[in-house]
Amino acid sequence: MTTASDPVADRVVEIPVAGMDCAGCTRSVRDALVGVPGVRSADVLLASEKAIVRLDPAAVDLPALTRAVEGAGYRVPEPVAAGESAAAEAGERGFARAVFGFLGVVFGAVLFIVVVGEWLGLFEALTERVPFPIGVLVVLAFGYPVFRNVVNATMRRQVISHTVMTIGVLAALAVGQWATAAVVVFFMRVGDYAERFTTERGRRAVKDLMALAPQTARVERDGAEVELPIAEVRVGEIVVVRPGETIPVDGEVVAGQATVNQAAITGEAMPVEAGPGTAVYAATQATLGSLRVRVTRVGKDTTFGRVIALVEGAEANRADVQRLADRFSGYFLPLVVAVGVVTFVVSRNPLATAAVLVVACSCSLALATPIAMLASIGAAAKRGLLIKGGKYIETLARADVLLVDKTGTLTLGKPRITDVIPLNGLSADELLGLTASVERDSEHPLAGAVREAAASRGLPLAVPSAFEAIPGHGVRARLDGHTIAVGNRRLVPAAIGAEPIARREAEGRTLLFVARDDELIGAIEAADTVRPEVPAALAQVRALGIRRIELLTGDDERTAAALAKTLGVEYRANLLPEDKIAIVKAYQAQGHTVVMVGDGVNDAPALAQADVGVAMGAGGTDVALEAAHVALMREDWLLVPDLFRIARRTMRVVKGNLGFTAVYNVVGIALAAMGLLPPILAAAAQSLPDLGIMANSARLLRQSRGER
């Protein structure tokens, strides 16, 4: 049991909960916790098998929470070591797979026997041969775990997914059909195992992530290297990472060189080179070298820790369609009972009445949304898409407006030299080398781009005898007895009206003018280049039906117009952060569903205001992870159309699940009420929707790029 952050008045605690298998279980635990005096709120996470509780520490203690969970029929396990936990989970998964495979065979065999046995009249002969009390004992013994949870829930005035089926068991026993009751219990237990197996596959995304988190670090203390648990490592200490080891903390490299695989953070398999000054992240792996890293973040505060927290907490933000299904499940029991009463009043047939109660299945309706959302969020997380909850999947699926920031989002956020324009007989290399020599001591971003371009061509740089930086204008230096000026037109008046420079200016290009002794000798063109995958990504977004794509930028009109024309999108220029928020609100007021993509820094307010805010390249960026509703863990624009595809496919599966279970229940109840579905066949039929929904939802675990 671990304690999270401590707000000023309330306290937040995390409680592990064992034994939860479905959405009904999470509701039961949540209701039990919220019923404890002093508890403000509780979010119960099926995937993470825990509850996050906000409480008044003066009014409630942890033992009270434990008693509430146990009173709901679930367990609060003691914490175990990470290695032991991983081994236990691996054993449980292997056992679950074996049991699930065995039960699948048994399920098919029993289903066949039930159908054929009913057709041949074998069950009547069996019922006559086995004394009724013994049959009742068999039903009660095999169904004890289910009945215990139903009794606990009923005592708290709650209806869970097995309540209706338990009433069906009682109805079958009431009319002397103990074999029917046994079949209902059998399929209830098989359904529980199948649901547990499917849920475990959804949980695996979180557990696989958590397994990547290192548990110890090699720290330099008092001149020696000491192996310590992560919880004992302090910010500012030096951690040593050897070849092949996982980096245990977020930090900055102070010595060493290594190739680092950052797939755990970015989802990108291509490694990066790390050296002094490079930021590195926990759970990434160093190869081909060793590193000494100064710690900046540890444990849950690392980028990896926050990624896990986001994936774990995604269940708390449930989709509206999921909330609708939850509410409907509460009304389903009285509806089924009412149909049963009407059936008995009209037909006076107790077997038909029992069949109505047996065939009704509210569990499938409760499963329809959460299993699909859990599977989809888990699959997306493995690909570097962190979706903070099912409600954002539902919103993305109906989005019709995409607003996009420019710098750092559509573009790389770093200027590059795109052209060199020499005049007066100079070559391009001569002009670039001269300009880079003048700019060698400048700190301006464009100066860095000039130096990089010169270095890429292998041009030698001269050392100026004098250098002057003129804020808002450019720089001036002395080289070989000449005064060289590099800057804008205010510094180089000779550039006014010069061709082909004037034409490029009219197109919104960024130019550095170069003059020697007040004579224009050329210009250097620079641009914040568009990410190479952006045009293809935007084309895919349009193909998905999002027609309104608009560029929002603080750049001037000409620069924005040039980029918008290249990409074929609308634009608005000269915007402040508050202007972007106003645009988002205006679209929302018109009834549009707005998705905003930004870099998560100056766009944070607009990301928060949008129906869905998407942060580009969120690795290591606090603001991006906190303000946005979706975080792309690597700077790959092709993840944006993938996001829309995942959302739409998920909602198709959810709607298919809801439609299937609704039709199935209506048809099943109608056939039972008309006496066309005997109780024994109703017992076999009631479990089929659960298996169908779980199989349909499990398809989302295999999301692949390009699927719509």
- Residue-wise pLDDT for 250-299, tens only, equals 999 999 988 887 766 654 545 677 889 888 888 888 877 889 999 999 98
Query: Do 302 and 212 contact (CB within 8 A), yes or no?
Result: no
Phi, psi of 144 (to 5 degrees): -55, -50
- Same domain? 465 vs 511: yes
pLDDT of residue 621: 53
Dist CA 224 CA 218 (whole Å): 10
pLDDT of residue 483: 93
User: Tokens 């590059």 appear where?
Assistant: 416
The per-residue pLDDT for range 262-275, each reduced to its tens digit, is 766 654 545 677 88
pLDDT of residue 594: 94
Element (H, E) at 255: strand 250-261
Residues with a catalytic annotation lie at 405
224 located within any domain: no
Strand arrangement of the beta sheet that strand 11-16 belongs to: 2-3, 11-16, 50-55, 39-45
Helix (H, G, I), strand (E, B) or coil at 531: coil
- Same domain? 538 vs 404: yes
Query: Do 618 and 632 contact (CB within 8 A), yes or no?
Result: yes
User: Of 21, 103, 28, which is closest to residue 68 (Cα–Cα)?
Assistant: 28
358 located within any domain: yes
Domain end among 41, 57, 79:
79
Q: For residue 30, with 0-12 CB atoms within 10 Å meaning exposed, 13-18 middle and 19 or more buried, which class applies?
A: middle
Residue of higher predicted confidence among 701 and 591: 591
pLDDT of residue 207: 61
- Same domain? 364 vs 247: no
Farthest-apart Cα atoms in the chain, separation: 117
Residue of higher predicted confidence among 692 and 457: 457
User: Of 377, 395, 399, which is closest to residue 542 (Cα–Cα)?
Assistant: 399
pLDDT of residue 87: 42
Dist CA 30 CA 17 (whole Å): 11
Q: Average pLDDT of 358-383?
A: 74
Query: Do 332 and 361 contact (CB within 8 A), yes or no?
Result: no
Helix (H, G, I), strand (E, B) or coil at 522: strand
Least trusted range by pLDDT, from 86-100, 531-545, 610-624: 86-100
The per-residue pLDDT for range 202-228, each reduced to its tens digit, is 555 556 656 667 888 999 988 888 999
- Asked if pLDDT for residue 352 goes beyond 80, the answer is yes
- Same domain? 472 vs 588: no
**Would the pTM count as exceeding 0.85?**
no
- Same domain? 198 vs 320: yes
Confidence of residue 6 (pLDDT cuts 50, 70, 90): very low
556 located within any domain: yes
Confidence of residue 357 (pLDDT cuts 50, 70, 90): confident
The per-residue pLDDT for range 143-185, each reduced to its tens digit, is 887 788 778 777 767 666 677 778 878 888 888 878 777 777 7
Dist CA 169 CA 582 (whole Å): 58
Dist CA 458 CA 164 (whole Å): 78
Domain end among 23, 44, 79:
79
Dist CA 57 CA 88 (whole Å): 33
381 located within any domain: no
Question: Which domain CATH number covers 436?
Answer: 3.40.1110.10
Domain end among 263, 297, 331:
297
The per-residue pLDDT for range 474-523, each reduced to its tens digit, is 889 999 889 999 988 778 887 776 766 777 766 667 788 999 998 889 89
Report the percentage of the chain scoring pLDDT > 70.
76
What is the separation of C-alpha 593 from the centre of its chain, rounded to a whole number of angstroms? 20
DSSP annotation of 314: G
- Same domain? 554 vs 618: yes
pLDDT of residue 356: 87
Cβ neighbours around 272 below 10 Å, total: 14
Q: Degrees (nearest 5) of the Cα angle 504, 508, 513? A: 55
Return left, alpha or beta for 52; rule: phi > 0 is left, psi -120 to 50 is alpha, else beta: beta
- Same domain? 694 vs 654: yes
- Same domain? 423 vs 519: yes
- Same domain? 90 vs 148: yes
305 located within any domain: no
Helix (H, G, I), strand (E, B) or coil at 5: coil
Least trusted range by pLDDT, from 106-110, 319-323, 506-510, 622-626: 106-110
Provide the domain limits for residue 239: 234-297
Helix (H, G, I), strand (E, B) or coil at 259: strand
pLDDT of residue 119: 54
Q: Which two tokens stand for residue 183?
A: 């079949």
Task: Considering only CA atoms, give the Rg of the chain.
Answer: 33
The per-residue pLDDT for range 524-546, each reduced to its tens digit, is 988 778 888 999 999 999 999 89
Question: Which domain CATH number covers 259?
Answer: 2.70.150.10
Question: Which domain CATH number covers 544?
Answer: 3.40.50.1000
- Same domain? 430 vs 472: yes
Cβ neighbours around 392 below 10 Å, total: 24
Cβ neighbours around 79 below 10 Å, total: 10
User: Of 586, 552, 593, 588, which is closest to residue 569 (Cα–Cα)?
Assistant: 552
Per DSSP, the residues of 34-102 read HTSTTEEEEEEETTTTEEEEEE-TTT--HHHHHHHHHHTT-B-PPP--HHHHHHHHHHHHHHHHHHHHH
Dist CA 108 CA 81 (whole Å): 40
Contacts of residue 550, defined as CB under 8 A and 6 or more positions apart, other chains included, come to: 401, 402, 403, 404, 569, 570, 571, 572, 583
Dist CA 682 CA 353 (whole Å): 11
Phi, psi of 285 (to 5 degrees): -115, 130
Question: Which domain CATH number covers 31?
Answer: 3.30.70.100
228 located within any domain: no
Contacts of residue 267, defined as CB under 8 A and 6 or more positions apart, other chains included, come to: 382, 383, 384, 385, 633, 634
pLDDT of residue 106: 52
384 located within any domain: no
- Asked if pLDDT for residue 126 goes beyond 80, the answer is no
pLDDT of residue 193: 65
- Same domain? 455 vs 521: yes
Report the percentage of the chain scoring pLDDT > 90.
19
pLDDT of residue 657: 86
Least trusted range by pLDDT, from 2-6, 419-423, 570-574, 604-608: 2-6
- Same domain? 155 vs 120: yes
Per DSSP, the residues of 177-238 read -HHHHHHHHHHHHHHHHHHHHHHHHHHHHHHHHHHHS-SEEEEEETTEEEEEEGGG--TT-E
- Could you report how far apart the first and last alpha carbons of the chain are, in Å? 41
What is the separation of C-alpha 335 from the centre of its chain, rounded to a whole number of angstroms? 36
pLDDT of residue 123: 60
Least trusted range by pLDDT, from 189-198, 330-339, 518-527, 682-691: 189-198
Q: Average pLDDT of 5-32?
A: 72
213 located within any domain: no
What is the separation of C-alpha 194 from the centre of its chain, rounded to a whole number of angstroms? 25
Query: Do 310 and 388 contact (CB within 8 A), yes or no?
Result: yes
Looking at the 3D structure of the chain, how many domains does it have? 5
Q: Average pLDDT of 196-205?
A: 57
